[in-house]
Amino acid sequence: MRQRKIVTIGGGTGQFTLLSGLKNYSYDISAIVSMADDGGSTGILRDELGVLPPGDARQCLVALSDSTDTLRALMNYRFEKGELKGHNFGNLLISALEKITGSFSEGICEATRILNVKGCVMPVSEGDMRLSIVLSDGSTLSGEKELDDNIQIKKIGVREIKLARRIRVNQRAVDVAHRADYIVIGPGDHFGSIMPNFLVSGLCRAIKKSNASVIFIAPLTNKRGHTENFSVDDYVCAIEKRIGKGRINYVVVNTKDPSRTILQRYEKQEGSHSLVHAHPSVSARAAYRIVRGDILQRKITRYAKGDEIAHTRAFIRHDSDRLAQAISYIIEFGQDCVFTIDD
């Protein structure tokens, strides 16, 4: 039987979570990664060395790696003291490989060999991808890091994001999208990790032309100032404005609520909490099929002491194995029903 070709699109922790589970299946996996990140260690390397942002690509490489636990841990190691405080070893390695090879993609290929990666990882573009954030009052902010760092966003809200300058799509990303059997979007931060990929018009055209079935993984929570009160259909509509109406075929929705303790912690961080649900009346007439199931991570995520942007990272997360099972379920059965997993 031909190995099914799965393409994931996203960035950040969400894509790491998905790929960590999918690598345990016999799929041909390609990960298309946003290059908009400009915060933390990634942002410093980007500004000081003139490299592309390595952080999201590093997470994908580690997720798909079949190397030793020690090497995987090394790639995620974050320095806690000295001039390197806050920097991630894997980010430094990828940036060095980009300098040695002369290209970010070539550097990723070298890292793929070093880490014995099962699949391939590629940037959505090798251009200088910078975000311009338009707030609801018409004012603008520059840089993806502002989405988490600027308090004005929670007060005013985001209207839309744009590219500060036009960039060219990575042709390799176009090629894998054309050949894909399934394209999986998310999970991840809507404006920070997901939508930047669809600001690159060449990728949107490739998805429109592809014969692949498109799966969207709905987020677990809405984000204050970003997607307050969004329903599943609001997320779908926002993405389909870029890739074509009716292009999303399946939506994976979580059915398990986090514990009261986790929700209280989330509310303290965000100022409010809003879980994402599929509204029955909308779902009944939607063009996409919904697969519901308990795909919530149980354990509380711990961050390294040197992680200076840990406060921006989500701690209500999808479970890697449960999420991968849901995707595999769609691939194998492709129908609309509740996806159940026993604890």
Q: Quickly state the pLDDT bin for 229 (edges 50, 70, 90).
A: confident
Query: CA-based diameter of the chain, in Å?
Result: 57
Cα separations in angstroms, 45 against 163, 310, 330: 20, 18, 39
* Distance from C-alpha of 115 to C-alpha of 65, rounded to nearest angstrom: 6
Across the range 193-200, mean pLDDT stands at 98
Tell me if 269 sits within 8 A of 221, measured CB to CB. no
Instruction: Work out the angle between the directed axes of helices 55-64 and 69-76 (0-180°, nearest 10).
Output: 170
**Which one of 109-118, 219-228, 285-294, 333-342 scores highest in mean pLDDT?**
109-118
Buried b (16+ CB within 10 A) or exposed e, 28-39: bbbbbbbbbbbb
- Which one is predicted more confidently, 34 or 342? 34
Residue-wise pLDDT tens digits, 261-302: 888 887 777 666 688 877 765 666 688 999 989 999 987 665
Do 164 and 35 contact (CB within 8 A), yes or no?
Answer: no
Q: Which residue bears the tokens 């985001």?
A: 158
Q: Does the predicted TM-score (pTM) go above 0.85?
A: yes
Q: Give CA–CA dist 186/283, Å, rounded.
A: 19
Q: Which tokens in the block code for residue 206?
A: 């490739």
Q: What pLDDT is stored for residue 302 in this prediction?
A: 59
Residues 270/233, Cβ–Cβ less than 8 Å:
no
pLDDT for 226 beyond 90: yes
Six-digit token string for 343: 């604890």
Cβ–Cβ < 8 Å for 309, 5 = no
Q: Measured between alpha carbons, how far is 111 from 59 in angstroms, rounded to an integer?
A: 12
- The position carrying tokens 């394209």 is 183
- DSSP structure class, residue 120: E
Averaged pLDDT of the chain: 90
Q: What local confidence, expressed as pLDDT, does residue 262 receive?
A: 83
Look at residue 264 in the predicted model and tell me its pLDDT. Answer: 82
Q: Which of 202, 190, 302, 187 is nearest to 238 (CA)?
A: 190
Cα–Cα distance between 149 and 279 in angstroms, integer? 31
Q: CA 313: distance to chain centroid?
A: 12
Task: Report d(CA 59, CA 57) in Å as an integer.
Answer: 5
What are the distances in angstroms from CA 283 to CA 180, 184, 231, 236, 318? 26, 19, 10, 11, 22
Task: Determine how β-strand 28-33 pairs with β-strand 289-293.
Answer: unpaired
Q: Is the dihedral of CA 273, 162, 10, 87 positive or negative?
A: negative
Instruction: Give the model confidence (pLDDT) of 302-328 as tens digits.
Output: 555 554 544 444 568 999 999 999 999
Task: Evaluate whether 115 touches 185 at the Cβ level (below 8 Å).
Answer: no
**Domains of the chain as residue ranges with CATH:** 9-333 (3.40.50.10680)
Q: DSSP secondary structure string, 201-261? A: HHHHHHHHH---EEEEE--SB--TTTSTT--HHHHHHHHHHHH-TT---EEEEE-PPPPHH
